[in-house]
Chains A and B, each alone.
Chain A
Amino acid sequence: MTDALLTGGNASTEVPLKRRLRRAERTRQVKALALVLPLLVFLLFTFAGPIAGMLWRAVDDREVRQVLPQTVAALADWDGKDLPDEKAYAALASDIVAARASGTIAIAAKRLNYALNGFRTILTSTARNLKTMPEPGAAKETLGKINAAWRERATWTTIRDASGPITGFYLLAALDLVRNVDGAIVAAPPDQAIYRSLFTRTFIISLSVTALCLILGFPVAYLLATLPPGRSNLLMIFVLLPFWTSLLVRTCAWIVLLQSKGVVNDSLHWLGIIDEPLRLIYNRFGVCVAMTHVLLPFMILPLYSSMKAISPAYMRAAASLGAPPFTAFLRIYLPQTLPGIGAGSLLVFILALGYYITPALVGGAADQMISYFIALYTTETANWGLASALGAVLLLATILLALVYGKLVQGQQVTGGMKN
């Protein structure tokens, strides 16, 4: 600015002015970015960083190489076809003696036990019985005597596969896959293969809830969009009040209503309709009812705004051209609500996929969704690798659906009109 003033005194004013404008605009842009920057840095620390950390934990695998460093080094050039040589056994013996002294055996044992059930016992019993380092050249024999598992190839491939520093083990496990002794990816044994059915269950519950929300939400949105504003604003309270009521309050309300000595069962009994209380909660029915109740406003609101945008002139035109009401509805009205249906359904489905609180409180053991297991593995069993891998799968699904949602609502006012 200053040099423009200094040099541009009597020269043709057009070029410096353009340049000055450009420079002013650039300063404005830098200032604008500087205003956004604090939030970006903040979210990096409180949101993106933590999630990146979680994703890293899904592939991080350093426990075994920290506890058994010599063994991992010795197995690096092992072809895996036969039992490893004496060198590896000696390395393992030396690692175990050292790890016992530093008390770190349990760390490796826990990790190896994930891959091979019973490994914890193998490692701890070996550590207990290996009083001193075996004689040079006798490590293989000594270890084999302490625990016959050391004479099996699978024991060694398990250590090798857990050598890290990164692993696909947890991600494979989250998809019910494992590496077999030869390193090929195969289906997990049936007793461990629980995650695909977990995804299916999560998917089915989310889909049922979405369908219920659409069926229940469509007439309501239609009514609200058709009524005169005064009346529809009043009825809108019925949608917004639950929307603003705490999730915990609503879940609590459903338990009070549906439990075996709850309001619904008592009323039905009093009316003489039932003799025995119906089982309405702590099962799939309860989960679907409570989740539909919580998510219904998320369906009604986008449907309402898409229907509000449909001019009644179209329907009148269809009628005047001789279309019967039902045909006009099906061919003229419904197609115009499709973006709203898509946006509402996707929104409900995305929110339902990650649900935790409601199924945890009103569901039975067979109704828990993926979030429940992520929480369980994080806080109860501390299997952080698996928790993170399941989290990665859920996050991927959410992001993909959110991208579709973003495409769908492009141009609609969901981002508060802040698009370019």
Chain B
Amino acid sequence: MSDNASLRTPSQRIAWTATIIVSALVFIFLIAPILAIMPLSFSSGSYLTYPLPGLSLRWYDDFISSPRWMNSLKNSMIIGVASTLLSMVLGTLAALGLAQWKSRFKPLVLAFVLSPVVVPGVITAVGLYFFFAPIGLTGSYLGLILAHTALATPFVVITVGATLQSFDTNLSRAAASLGASPLQAFRRVILPLILPGLASGALFAFATSFDEVVIVLFMAGPEQRTLPREMFSGIRENISPTITAAAVILTAVSVILLATLEGLRRRNERLKAGG
């Protein structure tokens, strides 16, 4: 323990032990529910409880052979990827602009750009429902992609902005003085350096869209139901083990995203330490 030196009195030791015990309980509270439902998806029985009668992949088979679930997975992917791409373009441009823009209105503009994160999902969803219905954007992929892009872009602006913060602007000046056009300088100098930041932004954006359900609830027609939306109705009606299989698939996606993000962060730290 790094703190051993300061743990001199018994009361301090007791306090430290208590902190560890409480923290351990909180960690269990945080992680146990997620871990608890995983084995249930491999159960051969249809009751969601322990002990498992046997192991099987029948619920995954059920998931894969169900057009409803597979369609929802496909929709989540389509909407997730499309809104990630769109939010990357809009968010990166805005972050580049905000990094250079000097104005007293900047905090205001920044607050506006970031506000979709803070405003409750139901408000955005209701507003979009009223706004998009008359122009035929409810019950369409385009409407959902636009809505998810609005929610995801703030994360791109934050992550790319944070990367630009540590970017040495002399590099782009050097590129310009060596005769690179602004576009060339961006493509050959700036882009490679901020690529990890862009990747993190993209992951955040994808995760935002992939997990979003309130807007989908209001705006999606039966054709555009996403995976979380399908889970929502599944949980409402009756929790079948197929839902736990879907939950495991969703969690696997989250773990992959988180691991990639952590890898990017480590790589970035190494680069910084190396430079």
Residues of A within 8 A of B (CB): 28-29, 31-40, 42-43, 45-54, 57, 216-217, 219-220, 222-223, 226-228, 235, 238-242, 244-257, 259, 261-263, 266-267, 293, 296-297, 312, 315-316, 319, 324-326, 329, 350, 353-357, 361, 371, 374-375, 378-379, 384, 387-388, 391, 394-395, 398, 402, 406, 413, 415-420
Contact = CB atoms under 8 A, between A and B. Distances in A.
Contacts of B18: 219
A256 B153 CA distance: 34
A361 B228 CA distance: 13
A222 B19 contact: yes
B170 to A, nearest CB: 15
Nearest to B148: A46
Contacts of B198: none
B161 A418 contact: yes
B interface: dominant SS: helix
Contacts of B112: 40, 43, 48
B228 A248 contact: yes
B191 interface: no
A51 B213 contact: no
Interface residues of B, number: 101
Given A36-B94, A220-B23, A252-B244, A245 B9 contact: no
12 contacts: A28-B100, A246-B231, A248-B235, A251-B235, A354-B120, A355-B120, A361-B235, A371-B121, A378-B126, A394-B122, A418-B95, A419-B106
B203 to A, nearest CB: 10
Given A241-B31, A312-B6, A379-B218, A246 B116 contact: no
A47 B115 contact: yes
A384 B97 CA distance: 38
Interface string B112-156: 111110111111111111111000000000000011011001000
B37 A378 contact: no
A43 B48 contact: no
A39 B123 contact: no
B26 interface: yes
Interface of B: 1-3, 6, 9, 11-12, 15, 18-20, 22-23, 26-27, 29-31, 33-34, 36-37, 40, 47-50, 89-91, 93-104, 106-107, 109-116, 118-132, 146-147, 149-150, 153, 157-159, 161-162, 165, 207, 210-211, 213-214, 217-218, 228, 231-232, 235-236, 239, 243-244, 247, 250-251, 254-255, 257-258, 262
B129 A378 contact: yes
Contacts of B210: 246
A220 B27 contact: yes
A222 to B, nearest CB: 6
B19 A33 contact: no
Contacts of A398: 118-120, 123
Contacts of A378: 126, 129, 218
Contacts of B217: 375
Given A35-B94, A50-B127, A419-B107, A239 B158 contact: no
Contacts of A35: 93-94, 96-97, 100
A46 B102 contact: no
Contact of B120 (A28, A29, A244, A394): A394
B6 A319 contact: yes
Contacts of B2: 226-228
